[in-house]
Amino acid sequence: MVSALAGRPTAARKACIARGSVRAAITFMGGLIMMSKLFSGHHLQRLFEKPDYQPASGFSAAGLEAVYIENEPYRGNRTTVFAWMGLPELKPGEQCPAMVLLHGGGGTAFDEWVRLWNARGYAAIVIDQCGCQPQIPVVDGEPHDRNPDGGPPGWDQSVFQITDPLTDQWQYHAITAAIRAHSLLAHHPDVDAQRIGVTGISWGGYMTCLVAGVDERLKCAVPVYGCGFLGENSGWKYGLFPTRPEADIKKWLEHWDPAVFLPHARMPFLWVNGTNDFAYPMDSMQKSYDIQGGPHQLCLRIEMPHGHPPGWEPVEIMDFADHLLRGKLPLIEITEFGHDTDSMWAHYESPDPIKEAVVCYTRAEGCWADRNYNELPAAIDHENRRVTAAIPNLARVCYLNLIDQKDRVISARHICPDYSV
């Protein structure tokens, strides 16, 4: 039961434009041209083939294999991508689902992350997306050791690469590396190639949006924190972007904002974020899921911490994957949402009665990351599977959270009440 409410990309795109996001519509056009040049036809099919790879000597982690995957040339030179890959215990002839894991800023290929998915019955691969390789024991935070054959540095450094050829820029290399990591899993005899998903944290969530818009083989995607519309509101709009030439930022957004890729991402998404994320605020996330080309669900917690362990710990991530890739019971599904000037409501489906529903709200204005949120109980009509709540007085932002018997959270879209009428 995955919500189809966001599964109408054309209508969502029209609604997005109607709300004044004309820049997004322009971005779509420029992005289509860029994507057709880099990620189509024979070149894309080549990325879907089993990549060349070799063992990465000197690296050891319990139950995992360290490899270097051949990737695209960088400034005319051969490149490789470091990866940890692991499989669960399987019966003879048994195949398992798999996940591609994309780390965030300051991170690298975390072997612990792979083992978490292996313990759940998945094969998994995590790549270092930024031309580096982990220290042993691994550390979370820069600097990391450079891979001698690594590609371009990533994250904020990509803004400084925007005048380079597209094929020498970080996003191009990170996308192709993630697709090749998927292909390496897909060609493994113990992996079911029809049951592979992707999840990423922070910059890895950003990259999840890009990869999902290119690699249509993926069966699910879970961006944690990461989203698009970074030129409209993000940690970079008021940080890095003003320090760079306006033309460079415009070009970077036209080529590499997730808004370019999300309309082409037609697999089910679970968007995971916190109300106060400093990098990827709620308004930009909402614009992102509104234009995503397939169904989606939301998991939005008050003041969710930002980091790698906090980004892979939410139980909803694996349970979402379990439903789509292992046929397990689904999370709560919000099938319909509505509101008027005084109240908000949601219809839902759930395999078990929900335990609790709350309205999360803030009366604060200004920077999204600085707003304090509160909760009030919402009414649950179990028979009709409907949750209702009064909009708190003077709330500037509010949304519903539905919580099931296992304390898993599924959220409705947020609204910003208009008190001018």
How, if at all, do strands 374-377 and 77-86 pair? unpaired
User: How far is the C-alpha of 110 from the C-alpha of 201, rounded, in Å?
Assistant: 12
* Claim to verify: residue 364 and residue 313 sit in the same structural domain: no
* Structural domain boundaries, residue 206: 9-331
* Claim to verify: residue 316 and residue 353 sit in the same structural domain: no
**CATH number where 148 lies:** 3.40.50.1820
* Claim to verify: residue 16 and residue 165 sit in the same structural domain: yes
Which of 311, 331, 351 terminates a domain? The answer is 331
User: How far is the C-alpha of 299 from the C-alpha of 407, rounded, in Å?
Assistant: 12
Residue 371 tokens, joined: 């707003």
1 belongs to a structural domain: no
User: How far is the C-alpha of 414 from the C-alpha of 399, rounded, in Å?
Assistant: 4
Which of 331, 359, 382 terminates a domain? The answer is 331
Number of folded domains that form the chain: 2
* Claim to verify: residue 318 and residue 351 sit in the same structural domain: no
Residue 9 tokens, joined: 């990309």
173 belongs to a structural domain: yes
* Claim to verify: residue 348 and residue 249 sit in the same structural domain: no
* Claim to verify: residue 160 and residue 300 sit in the same structural domain: yes
User: What type of residue sits at position 242?
Assistant: P
**Residue 221 near residue 198, CB atoms below 8 Å:** yes
376 membership: H or E segment, kind and range: strand 374-377
* Claim to verify: residue 15 and residue 148 sit in the same structural domain: yes
202 belongs to a structural domain: yes
Residue 420 tokens, joined: 């001018």
102 belongs to a structural domain: yes
* Claim to verify: residue 306 and residue 347 sit in the same structural domain: no
327 belongs to a structural domain: yes
pLDDT at residue 94, rounded to an integer:
97
Peptide bond into 143 cis (omega under 30): yes
4 belongs to a structural domain: no
pLDDT at residue 140, rounded to an integer:
81
pLDDT digits (tens), the chain, 421 positions: 233 333 333 344 444 434 434 555 555 566 677 787 899 899 999 999 999 999 999 999 999 999 999 999 999 999 999 999 999 999 999 999 999 999 999 999 999 999 999 999 999 999 999 999 998 777 787 789 999 999 999 999 999 999 999 999 999 999 999 999 999 999 999 999 999 999 999 999 999 999 999 999 999 999 999 999 999 999 999 999 999 999 999 999 999 999 999 999 999 999 999 999 999 999 999 999 999 999 999 999 999 999 999 999 999 999 999 999 999 999 999 999 999 999 999 999 999 999 999 999 999 999 999 999 999 999 999 999 999 999 999 999 999 999 999 999 999 999 999 876 5
CA angle 154, 156, 162 (to 5 degrees): 80
* Claim to verify: residue 67 and residue 27 sit in the same structural domain: yes
Which of 331, 355, 378 terminates a domain? The answer is 331
3 belongs to a structural domain: no
**Residue 191 near residue 207, CB atoms below 8 Å:** no
* Claim to verify: residue 94 and residue 31 sit in the same structural domain: yes
* Claim to verify: residue 154 and residue 211 sit in the same structural domain: yes
Neighbours of 408 (CB within 10 A): 19
pLDDT at residue 139, rounded to an integer:
77
**CATH number where 358 lies:** 2.60.40
* Claim to verify: residue 304 and residue 169 sit in the same structural domain: yes
421 belongs to a structural domain: no
pTM above 0.85, yes or no: yes
